[in-house]
Each structure stands twice: as structure tokens, then as C-alpha cells.
A and B are shown apart, each in its own frame.
Chain A
Amino acid sequence: GQQLNQSPQSMFIQEGEDVSMNCTSSSIFNTWLWYKQEPGEGPVLLIALYKAGELTSNGRLTAQFGITRKDSFLNISASIPSDVGIYFCAGQRYGGSQGNLIFGKGTKLSVKP
């Protein structure tokens, strides 16, 4: 099935560093979502974006809905060890149903204390 292009695939950073990851698509999306998944668990919603250009924060996390509606990025500031996990972008394609989310392959984040 179709998946979004998410990069980087993995990141190894030092505690306290900032992190940036992004997601691109060839299709226009109505909604961009960012999820975090830990081993053996389901994805947990971090941030939802609904309008082109929208910039939304959730604590140390900031995400933006690209102006072209074909991309989004997620920033994590001052990373801490509990930020470790896999971060997925997901989008609802223009003309698609609400429940049919397209996911990226994920960015695996490792944080060294």
C-alpha cells in the first residue's frame, strides 16, 4: 500500500539535543498526524494538524503542516531518554476517509544519556 516518505529512518542523539524529522508525499493531505510507538505497544497520538501552514506545539514537541499540503515536520527540543521510540507521521489523503490513514515507515529515535 501507499506510504509516506519519512526521514531520517533513524537518529542517534545525545540527551539535550534537538531533533527534527519530516514526512513528504506526492499527494495532498487534509490532515497530518504524528504518533509515537514504543516496543510492543500501539501508536500514541502526539500532535494533529488540520490546516496548511499550521504550527502546533505539545510541550517540547512542535509540528507543522506544510504550505503545499504535501509535507509535515516534527521537532523535539531538549531531548530526554524517555523520548526513545519510533515516531510515525500519518496523513488523511484529500478525498480519503477519516479512518484511512496513510503512515510513514517511522523514524527510530535513540537518546544517549
Chain B
Amino acid sequence: DTGVSQDPRHKITKRGQNVTFRCDPISEHNRLYWYRQTLGQGPEFLTYFQNEAQLEKSRLLSDRFSAERPKGSFSTLEIQRTEQGDSAMYLCASSTSNTEAFFGQGTRLTVV
């Protein structure tokens, strides 16, 4: 499978715990994006990497959220001190400079 891969697919955590999600983009894609999608809404942009550089962050990305792409390949998104409002689908997408974004299957986070 050469698509965007996200792990885990589902995560249930207790409020206050930290969680980390992983995204493996399509191998030749230098751009990687994180989006968040809540029920009944479209995806909302969180952040964007070109290679290892984080070029843009949304105001939705509070200081409890941090994303990294240390070697310009896979990326991680960490949420510290989770809150119930963090429950959502977290989507990763990747692209080249000349293609549109291809999305992964997402990680469904439930904070209880």
C-alpha cells in the first residue's frame, strides 16, 4: 500500500493523558499536513510541513499540540493534557509541490 498511513486508527484516552499519533506520507511527497475533523464538519487545517520545516500553524493548534517531522519523512502529532473537546478525527495528508493533497484514513481520538 503506497498511500498515506496513519497509526493508530483509533485511540481512547482519559482526560489529562498525553497522546501521540503517527503519519507516514506517500514516499516521494515532501509536503505533509495535519487536519482535524469533528462530527458533522469538514476537516480544519492544523499545520503544514515542507520537508522537516513546519511552515504554517493554525490558531486551532493550541500550545498543548505539537507536531514534528524530524527527518522530513514521517510526522508525529502530540496532544498533551487531553481535553474532551480534543475528541475528533485527526487526518494527515501529503503532496508534492505540484500535486493536490492525498489524505490518510485518519486517527479517531475519543477523550473520556
Binding site for B on A (CB under 8 A): 1, 3-4, 6, 31, 33, 35, 40-45, 48, 88, 90, 97-106
- Contacts A97-B56, A99-B95; A43 near B45 (Cβ below 8 A): no
CB distance from A74 to the nearest CB of B (A): 14
Per the 8 Å Cβ criterion, residues 35-49 of B in contact with A are 35, 40-45, 48
CB distance from A103 to the nearest CB of B (A): 3
Residue numbers in B under 8 Å from A101 (CB-CB): 35, 43, 45, 101
Pick the residue among A4, A99, A104 that contacts B45 (CB under 8 A): A99
Task: Count chain B residues whose beta carbon lies closer than 8 angstroms to a beta carbon of A.
Answer: 28
Judged by a CB distance under 8 angstroms, whether B100 is at the interface is yes
Whether A103 and B43, one on each chain, are in contact in the complex, defined by CB atoms closer than 8 angstroms, is: yes
Binding site for A on B (CB under 8 A): 4, 31, 33, 35, 40-45, 48, 55-56, 58-60, 91, 93, 95, 97, 100-106, 108
- Contacts A43-B91, A48-B100; A103 near B42 (Cβ below 8 A): yes
Q: Other than the known A3-B44, A99-B93, what 19 A-B pairs have Cβ atoms closer than 8 Å? A: A4-B42, A40-B108, A41-B105, A42-B93, A42-B103, A43-B91, A45-B101, A45-B102, A45-B103, A88-B42, A88-B43, A97-B48, A98-B95, A98-B97, A99-B33, A100-B45, A101-B101, A104-B42, A105-B42
